[in-house]
Amino acid sequence: GHRAGPAPAAGAATNLVIHDGRLQSGYARFDPRAYLQNNYVPPRADFSSEECVVPWKLRCLAETFASGEICGRTLIDVGSGPTIYQLLSACDHFEEIVATDFLEVNREELRRWVRGEPGAFDWSPFIRHVCKIEGRG
Protein backbone atom coordinates (compact mmCIF):
# COMPACT_ATOMS: atom_id res chain seq x y z
CA GLY A 1 0.00 0.00 0.00
CA HIS A 2 0.92 3.64 -0.37
CA ARG A 3 0.92 5.94 2.61
CA ALA A 4 0.14 9.57 2.04
CA GLY A 5 0.05 12.74 4.02
CA PRO A 6 -3.07 14.35 5.41
CA ALA A 7 -5.99 14.47 3.03
CA PRO A 8 -6.62 18.14 2.25
CA ALA A 9 -10.36 17.98 2.88
CA ALA A 10 -10.27 19.00 6.50
CA GLY A 11 -7.40 20.14 8.65
CA ALA A 12 -7.45 16.93 10.69
CA ALA A 13 -4.39 14.66 10.79
CA THR A 14 -5.95 11.87 8.78
CA ASN A 15 -3.64 9.53 6.94
CA LEU A 16 -4.95 8.02 3.75
CA VAL A 17 -3.59 4.54 3.02
CA ILE A 18 -4.26 3.08 -0.39
CA HIS A 19 -4.41 -0.67 0.03
CA ASP A 20 -3.99 -3.39 -2.59
CA GLY A 21 -6.87 -5.75 -3.30
CA ARG A 22 -7.16 -8.90 -5.39
CA LEU A 23 -8.00 -8.50 -9.04
CA GLN A 24 -11.44 -9.71 -10.00
CA SER A 25 -11.74 -10.51 -13.69
CA GLY A 26 -15.09 -8.71 -14.12
CA TYR A 27 -13.34 -5.43 -13.47
CA ALA A 28 -10.32 -6.15 -15.67
CA ARG A 29 -11.36 -3.58 -18.27
CA PHE A 30 -12.48 -0.92 -15.81
CA ASP A 31 -11.41 2.48 -17.10
CA PRO A 32 -11.00 4.96 -14.23
CA ARG A 33 -10.93 8.05 -16.46
CA ALA A 34 -14.14 7.05 -18.25
CA TYR A 35 -15.75 6.22 -14.91
CA LEU A 36 -14.79 9.60 -13.46
CA GLN A 37 -15.94 11.39 -16.60
CA ASN A 38 -19.29 9.57 -16.64
CA ASN A 39 -20.09 9.96 -12.97
CA TYR A 40 -18.18 12.82 -11.39
CA VAL A 41 -18.39 15.72 -13.80
CA PRO A 42 -21.61 17.58 -14.74
CA PRO A 43 -24.42 16.73 -15.35
CA ARG A 44 -24.11 14.01 -12.68
CA ALA A 45 -21.94 16.21 -10.50
CA ASP A 46 -24.07 19.34 -10.57
CA PHE A 47 -23.59 21.05 -7.23
CA SER A 48 -26.23 23.66 -7.93
CA SER A 49 -29.00 21.06 -7.62
CA GLU A 50 -29.80 19.06 -4.50
CA GLU A 51 -31.78 16.74 -6.77
CA CYS A 52 -28.56 15.70 -8.40
CA VAL A 53 -27.09 12.36 -7.28
CA VAL A 54 -23.63 13.62 -6.32
CA PRO A 55 -24.69 16.42 -3.92
CA TRP A 56 -27.29 14.00 -2.52
CA LYS A 57 -24.58 11.41 -1.78
CA LEU A 58 -22.35 14.07 -0.21
CA ARG A 59 -25.19 15.26 2.01
CA CYS A 60 -25.99 11.71 3.15
CA LEU A 61 -22.32 11.15 4.02
CA ALA A 62 -22.04 14.51 5.83
CA GLU A 63 -25.17 13.79 7.89
CA THR A 64 -24.07 10.25 8.68
CA PHE A 65 -20.63 11.23 9.93
CA ALA A 66 -21.95 14.33 11.73
CA SER A 67 -24.32 12.09 13.70
CA GLY A 68 -21.25 10.57 15.38
CA GLU A 69 -22.71 7.09 14.97
CA ILE A 70 -19.76 5.94 12.90
CA CYS A 71 -16.47 6.48 14.64
CA GLY A 72 -13.22 4.73 15.46
CA ARG A 73 -9.51 4.99 14.72
CA THR A 74 -9.39 3.54 11.23
CA LEU A 75 -12.01 3.64 8.50
CA ILE A 76 -11.64 1.04 5.73
CA ASP A 77 -13.37 1.93 2.47
CA VAL A 78 -13.76 -1.27 0.45
CA GLY A 79 -13.87 -0.64 -3.28
CA SER A 80 -12.85 3.01 -3.32
CA GLY A 81 -12.42 2.88 -7.06
CA PRO A 82 -10.70 6.01 -8.39
CA THR A 83 -12.70 8.28 -6.06
CA ILE A 84 -12.20 10.03 -2.73
CA TYR A 85 -15.37 12.16 -2.46
CA GLN A 86 -16.89 9.42 -0.26
CA LEU A 87 -14.17 9.99 2.36
CA LEU A 88 -14.36 13.77 2.71
CA SER A 89 -16.87 13.94 5.54
CA ALA A 90 -15.13 11.06 7.32
CA CYS A 91 -11.77 12.87 7.66
CA ASP A 92 -12.68 14.64 10.89
CA HIS A 93 -13.85 11.44 12.54
CA PHE A 94 -10.95 9.07 11.87
CA GLU A 95 -7.21 9.21 12.41
CA GLU A 96 -6.61 6.94 9.46
CA ILE A 97 -8.60 6.08 6.37
CA VAL A 98 -7.70 3.05 4.25
CA ALA A 99 -8.87 3.25 0.67
CA THR A 100 -8.88 -0.14 -1.06
CA ASP A 101 -9.41 -1.34 -4.57
CA PHE A 102 -8.86 -4.48 -6.58
CA LEU A 103 -7.46 -2.56 -9.48
CA GLU A 104 -3.99 -1.08 -9.78
CA VAL A 105 -5.37 1.46 -12.30
CA ASN A 106 -7.73 2.75 -9.63
CA ARG A 107 -5.08 2.83 -6.92
CA GLU A 108 -2.78 4.66 -9.34
CA GLU A 109 -5.53 7.19 -10.04
CA LEU A 110 -5.82 7.82 -6.28
CA ARG A 111 -2.04 8.11 -5.88
CA ARG A 112 -1.94 10.68 -8.68
CA TRP A 113 -4.38 12.80 -6.68
CA VAL A 114 -2.57 12.27 -3.37
CA ARG A 115 0.72 13.34 -4.96
CA GLY A 116 -0.93 16.23 -6.80
CA GLU A 117 0.46 14.96 -10.09
CA PRO A 118 -0.51 16.42 -13.45
CA GLY A 119 -3.62 14.74 -14.83
CA ALA A 120 -5.00 13.96 -11.38
CA PHE A 121 -8.76 14.24 -11.15
CA ASP A 122 -9.82 17.58 -9.68
CA TRP A 123 -11.83 16.88 -6.54
CA SER A 124 -11.81 20.53 -5.46
CA PRO A 125 -15.47 21.23 -6.38
CA PHE A 126 -16.39 18.25 -4.18
CA ILE A 127 -14.20 19.51 -1.34
CA ARG A 128 -15.71 23.01 -1.60
CA HIS A 129 -19.22 21.57 -1.61
CA VAL A 130 -18.55 19.40 1.45
CA CYS A 131 -17.08 22.41 3.30
CA LYS A 132 -20.23 24.35 2.40
CA ILE A 133 -22.69 21.71 3.61
CA GLU A 134 -20.62 21.17 6.75
CA GLY A 135 -20.83 24.91 7.40
CA ARG A 136 -17.13 25.68 6.96
CA GLY A 137 -17.68 28.42 4.43
Handedness of CA 118, 16, 122, 79 (dihedral sign): positive
Q: Which is nearer to ligand SAM, 14 or 80 (CB)?
A: 80
Crossing angle, helix 104-115 and helix 32-39, to 10 degrees?
70
Contact range with ligand SAM by CB under 6 A, out of 43-51, 62-70, 97-105, 119-127: 97-105
- Identify residues 105-124 at the interface with ligand SAM (CB under 6 A): 106
- Distance (Å, rounded) from C-alpha 126 to C-alpha 19? 23
Q: Are 18 and 83 in contact (CB under 8 A)?
A: no
Strands (E), the chain: 2-6, 15-20, 74-77, 96-101
Q: For residues 14 and 106, which CB has a smaller minimum distance to ligand SAM in the complex?
A: 106
Is residue 14 at the binding interface for ligand SAM, with CB under 6 A as the rule? no
CA separation, residue 102 to residues 2, 9, 128 (Å): 14, 24, 29
Quick one: which segment of 42-50, 65-73, 77-85, 128-136 binds ligand SAM (CB under 6 A)?
77-85
Number of chain positions touching ligand SAM (CB under 6 A): 14
User: Taking CB under 6 A as the rule, does residue 55 contact ligand SAM?
Assistant: no
* Closest CB 53 distance from ligand SAM, rounded Å: 11
Interacting residue ranges for ligand SAM, rule: CB under 6 A: 21, 27, 30, 78-81, 83, 86, 100-103, 106
